[in-house]
Structure 1
Amino acid sequence: MTQDQTAANGPHIPVLLRPLLAAVAPVSGRWLDGTFGAGGYTRGLLEAGAEQVTGVDRDPLAFELAKPWAGEYGDRLILQPGVFSRMDEYAQDLDGVVLDLGVSSMQLDLAERGFSFMKDGPLDMRMSQSGPSAADLIAELDEAQIADILFHYGEERASRRIAKAIVKERAIEPITTTLRLAGI
Structure 2
Amino acid sequence: MKSVKKNILIINGSLGGATGNTSVLIETAKKYLSVHGANIDILHLEENEDDLKTKLTWAHGFIFTSGTYWDSWGSPMQKFLETTTQYEASDLFLYKPASVMISMHSVGGKGVLSRLQGVLNTMGLNIPPMSGFVYSLATHIALTINESQKDFNDDFWSLEDIEIVIHNLMTATQHKHDFKSWPVDSKDPQRRWL
Instruction: Determine if the TM-score, normalized by the shorter chain, exceeds 0.5.
Output: no
> Which protein is richer in strand relative to its size?
2
TM-score w.r.t. length of structure 2? 0.29
TM-score w.r.t. length of structure 1? 0.30
> Which protein is richer in helix relative to its size?
1
Name the structure, 1 or 2, with higher relative contact order (CA <8 Å, separation 6+). Answer: 2
